[in-house]
Structure 1
Amino acid sequence: MTQVGEYVGETGAWNRGRQWKPSISERHTVILGGVSQKISVEGPGGSAPVMIMFHGGPWAPFIYGLAYRGFYPELSKRFTLVWWDQYGCGRNARRLHDIPSDISVETFARMAIDLTGEIRRRFPHSPILLNGYSFGTYLTMQTVAARESDIAGVINLGPIMSMREATGHFRAACDRRMNERERLRMQQLQNIGRYDPYAAYVEQLAGKYTNCCHYRDALGSGNPIWRAIADSWRNDAMFRRWMLRLVTSGDYRPLDLIGAAMGTLPYGRFSRRFRTLWDSMENIDLWPIAERLPIPVIYIQGDAELYVLPDELAALAERRPNVEYVRLAHSGHIPTSRAWEWAMHAMIRFGQAVS
């Protein structure tokens, strides 16, 4: 049954019981897309449901990624978790000249499909769930489209659907708030004939003028700056823990921290070498897959999101009996601490129901 709802919870509920140790906690080297890469596996093992975690970006192992092995005992008590840093970032970082200049979002999709095949071979009797955040939801949907018979369900947190549509949402949201300098810069980038520089700048402006990324409560309400700072500090408590984990993870070396920032560093995001990758984001349109897939899918997003408008996903859930939609009150693309607790609650409930 399709469910559409808003969830607000008490903080702290999902941070307890961190002394639990998984039955398996292993690192492996696998071949994905013809390239040797590292993954890690943790959880009950055996025939327990497997949950493959796809982080955002591209090249941004944040919230999900190899650094977060052991960070979510609420999940690893119930599911065998598989962690992977996308080729070229984090633990799977390479020298720049070793990464093909024609790498694209389709390259990562093929690797995600290969990873799912590898996990199916390792856990032949376990239901497999795909759990993606942001760009990782592109990987979940491409993977399930290719390996539908292997997948029990899909969890999409902070989903993307059409990146062209997302860029339009960002521009519309901040259009009347931009100053003349910003408006001129946006128009200049729009005229250079490439997708990413313009799209990235408009997204940056939306993050500045709206709550779509970090939810700050007092934004645009006429409240004093100290109120906005206090709101941001409170709402971003989980964000600070996610960032601290990158530094303190036993799975990351100091050099891996540079790889973890690949998606934002000039030689990763803005270099000429990887223009193909960032411009290929324009090709992302998941609506056709979402409209035809029969397997269970849950979309979880903050109500201030702009990558996909909340009403669009609510309408999808109304049309499709296999789709569930959870709207997190007072949250943006990066979940607030309170929203994260309810997102975790929804993931566990959904994962147990479909597996």
Structure 2
Amino acid sequence: MFARKTRKMNSDLGIAVLEEVEIGKVKQTILIRGEDIHNPIMLFLHGGPGTAQIGFAPKFQGELEKEFTVVNWDQRGSGLSYSTELKKEDLLIEQFVSDTIELITYLLEKFKQPKLFLVGHSWGTVLGILVSQKSPELLYSYIGIGQVVNMKEGEKISYEYTIRKAQELNKKKAIKQLANYDINDLKTLDIQRKWLTEFGGSYINVSMYNLIYSNMIFAKEYTFRDWMNYMKAGKSSLHALWDQMLEIDFLTTATELQVPVYLLTGKHDYQTPFSLAERYYDKLQCPYKELIWFEKSGHLLNYEETNKFNYVCIEIKKEQCIVV
């Protein structure tokens, strides 16, 4: 079996390391890439739950690697951090929050820096908000992509959009399948997500094949065995965390944060509906906040409009006047 590795940096001050660390008493894998180790750290919290991104995200992060030390982390139970020894009780939101804070502390000590930029996508935004609440002193700012706000309300809006589009387009098969939708049944959730994608409410400028599979096939960070575990890990993570996620309501539990917050929102996102992101932004009180629209994107804006996303992140760094 081929060993995992990552492409080297062409810089004397650069770093390109695929590293296994113990977080929350569980071995987990992080990928650290950047052209200058003195640059501020940007930690990505992937979506899903379980949609690990070490195998495909670096392809889109080249510009960020010039300005940040970029860290991608396959969270416990997913991707390169998958383990059959993990039980459902090991996959609690509180544990993921604890893992995130432990990892942040490790990275800050490793690079001798006071704070970092935290980026969450979808499920990762749940962790991002909770970490921002619990340990704001560790963060320069929080950047949320496809922000989760109120899961039950978000799923209601998402379903209503999907069934409405099915009826408008007279998609009889979709109408029939969506009639059985149950927010607590992950099989019917899969069906709803399939039709949501077809009707342009999930992502519109990329395909999951082009984004994940075609990239990960050639990713040296993943072996064939890792590939075999990838989908299994994603499914088990979602099953373990879905009920917990349905209890999330940041409109009532996280309306005050002590860090600058940037909400990056796709104009076509009905997976974590943009209307809820707007409501949360309006209600949120924090030192500084900004709602940034991505007009040509849905739920995967950092991959749908990569150049704009990278530009926004670099501008955020400038706004925070970071000197390390």
Q: Percent identity?
A: 20
**Mapped pair 1:351 → 2:317:** yes
Deviation at 1:187, TM superposition (A): 5.2
Deviation at 1:282, TM superposition (A): 1.1
Deviation at 1:68, TM superposition (A): 3.6
Corresponding residue SS for 2:305: helix
Distance 2:160 2:82 in 1: 36
Q: Which runs of 5+ in 2 are unaligned?
A: 1-7
Deviation at 1:137, TM superposition (A): 1.3
Q: 2:265 aligns with which of 301, 306, 310?
A: 301
Alignment of 1:278-297 (within 5 A): 278-288=242-252, 290-297=254-261
Match of 1:78 in 2: 67
**Mapped pair 1:340 → 2:306:** yes
Match of 1:60 in 2: 51
Q: Contact 1:153 / 1:351 at 8 angstroms: preserved in 2? A: no
Q: Contact 2:20 / 2:27 at 8 angstroms: preserved in 1? A: yes
Match of 1:48 in 2: 39
2:100 maps to a residue whose letter is: A
Match of 1:164 in 2: 152
Distance 2:22 2:217 in 1: 27
Deviation at 1:328, TM superposition (A): 0.8
Deviation at 1:264, TM superposition (A): 5.4
Q: Structure 1 residues 330 and 239, CA, compared in 2 at 3 Å: closer, same or farther? A: farther
Deviation at 1:180, TM superposition (A): 6.5
Deviation at 1:252, TM superposition (A): 0.9
Corresponding residue SS for 1:175: helix
Deviation at 1:349, TM superposition (A): 0.8
**Mapped pair 1:99 → 2:86:** yes
Q: Structure 1 residues 284 and 240, CA, compared in 2 at 3 Å: closer, same or farther? A: same
Distance 2:14 2:302 in 1: 30
Deviation at 1:261, TM superposition (A): 2.3
2:160 maps to a residue whose letter is: A
Corresponding residue SS for 1:143: helix
**Mapped pair 1:249 → 2:215:** no
Query: What do residues 150-206 of structure 1 show as CA deviations (whole Å, max 9, x unaligned)?
Result: 11101112222222112101121123325666556555553xx93544544433332
Deviation at 1:275, TM superposition (A): 3.9
Match of 2:115 in 1: 127
Q: Contact 1:186 / 1:202 at 8 angstroms: preserved in 2? A: yes
Q: 1:112 aligns with which of 100, 112, 117?
A: 100
Distance 2:146 2:75 in 1: 18
Distance 1:118 1:147 in 2: 14
Q: Contact 2:121 / 2:144 at 8 angstroms: preserved in 1? A: yes
Corresponding residue SS for 1:278: helix
Distance 1:196 1:277 in 2: 11
Match of 1:11 in 2: none
Q: Structure 1 residues 195 and 247, CA, compared in 2 at 3 Å: closer, same or farther? A: same
Match of 1:38 in 2: 29
Q: Contact 1:88 / 1:259 at 8 angstroms: preserved in 2? A: no
Match of 1:173 in 2: 161
Q: Contact 2:120 / 2:128 at 8 angstroms: preserved in 1? A: yes
Aligned length: 306
Question: Greater CA deviation, 34-43 or 303-312?
Answer: 303-312
Q: Which runs of 5+ in 1 are unaligned?
A: 1-17, 216-234
Corresponding residue SS for 1:168: helix
Higher relative contact order (CA 8 A, sep 6+): 1
User: What root-mean-square deviation, in Å, do the aligned CA atoms of Structure 1 and Structure 2 show?
Assistant: 3.0
Match of 2:133 in 1: 145
Q: 2:76 aligns with which of 87, 103, 107?
A: 87
Distance 2:143 2:251 in 1: 16
Q: 2:192 aligns with which of 189, 195, 202?
A: 202
Query: What do residues 256-284 of structure 1 show as CA deviations (whole Å, max 9, x unaligned)?
Result: 1123323555xx37xxxx74433222122
Q: 2:15 aligns with which of 2, 13, 24?
A: 24
